[in-house]
Amino acid sequence: MKKTSLSLLKKLFPVALATSLTFSAAAADTVKVGVLHSLSGTMAISETSLKDVLLFTFDEINKGGGIKVGGKNYLIEPVVVDPASDWPLFAEKAEQLLVKDKVAVIFGCWTSVSRKFVLPVVERNNGLLFYPVQYEGEELSQNIFYTAEAVNQQAIPPVDYMLAEGKKKFYLLGSDYVYPRTTNKILKQYLKMKGIPDSDIVEIYTPFGHQDYQTIVAAIKAFAAGGKACVISTLNGDTNIPFFKEFANAGLTSENCPVVSFSISEDEFRGLPAKELAGHLGCWTYFMSLKTPENDKFVKDFLAWVKDPKVTGVDFKVTGVDPKGRVTCSPMNLSRIGVNLWKQAAEKADSFEVDKVRAALIGQKFKGPAGEVTMQENHHLVNNVFIGETLPSGQFKVIKTFNAVAGEPFSEKFLK
């Protein structure tokens, strides 16, 4: 077979060849980033979707040419690990990503206990972690950027809403770890400030993966019998499935005892009896149902991507993405926002070095599906906040909006 010369190829296919050569040159330069989310165990119900949306976002950025640093275009090369809902394993995997894989940044963690295990690892190695899930605050690390809802952005607004609706009894139910316990400690103090006595506040915790809620739901039913009661739920992971099924079986509804959940988004509702739970509330900085051009594009593009998942331009095979019944949710949106803020900061700093990127992150803005966000000096976002009512479809109808709420990690600043 006769070989075709490069000069002849250029004459025959000038545009196609130029594009191919440009892409090949760009593909030669990559930057590794870590994905640290549970793909197995009790938290996989929530965290797998965050892995998916991160890979989707990397693909978005790579298709757009990647990240321009030092006069070169770098494509994002994911390094995905599975800490398997095992908190010490989160620390081991974070160490692996930073020391062995040499990633420039880590996107990951869901539970606060997993983040607490990772925190000393990123500090010791001067790594960078973007944390995308609502949390209890009372923490600030120079090595972590908290894109998620702080207590004053997620827990306080719906409690105020419940108080305005005439609720006077609060059943605080959570998983037994740092986020629910710290959040409820803050909420108890806040409720007392609002005149709710200790006798009308119940605080109960269950282990991760707990399955038997018959006794607890019976206690909630008795607690709500006199009226004016609600449940504030910080249950995490797949334990929500047996709780809500037992709740519905007991005849409890949003009318006689509304539940405000801080860890159930559209994604978790895929595994819950959504029709029986219509009317219960959630509070997030994003809902899939928001009507904005940015959200329409995000939802459309993500739902198309899960049908044919890939990360453009790098040698990374995307596996384990289930396209059925997919939705978007706040932690997914905040994961995507974190990646884009990091990209913008790296380009501003003209470097992937952590110290330079950290400095460049402050003041970065990004117009996301729920509106524009701004990264503050305290490593938390200024973001819009929405209270939503659950629909039988598993989506949320926005019933109240708070614009440009500045995330505040330390409760002493808003418990006054």
Instruction: For domain 26-149+291-382, say whether CATH 3.40.50.2300 is its number.
Output: yes
pLDDT tens, 160-212? 999 999 999 999 999 999 999 999 999 999 999 999 999 999 999 999 999 99
Reduced to 3 DSSP states, what percent helix, strand and coil does the chain have, rounded to the nearest 5? 40, 20, 35
Q: What is the secondary structure of 134-171 as a DSSP string?
A: --------TTEEE-S--HHHHTHHHHHHHHHTT--EEE
Give 26's pLDDT tier (boundaries 50, 70, 90). Answer: very low
Domain boundaries, the chain: 26-149+291-382, 152-288+385-413
pTM for the model: 0.89
The predicted structure's pLDDT at residue 304: 98
Cα angle: 162, vertex 210, 272; to 5 degrees = 60
pLDDT tens, 140-155? 999 999 999 999 999 9
Whether the Cβ atoms of residue 189 and residue 136 lie closer than 8 Å to each other = no
CATH architecture of 152-288+385-413: 3-Layer(aba) Sandwich (3.40)
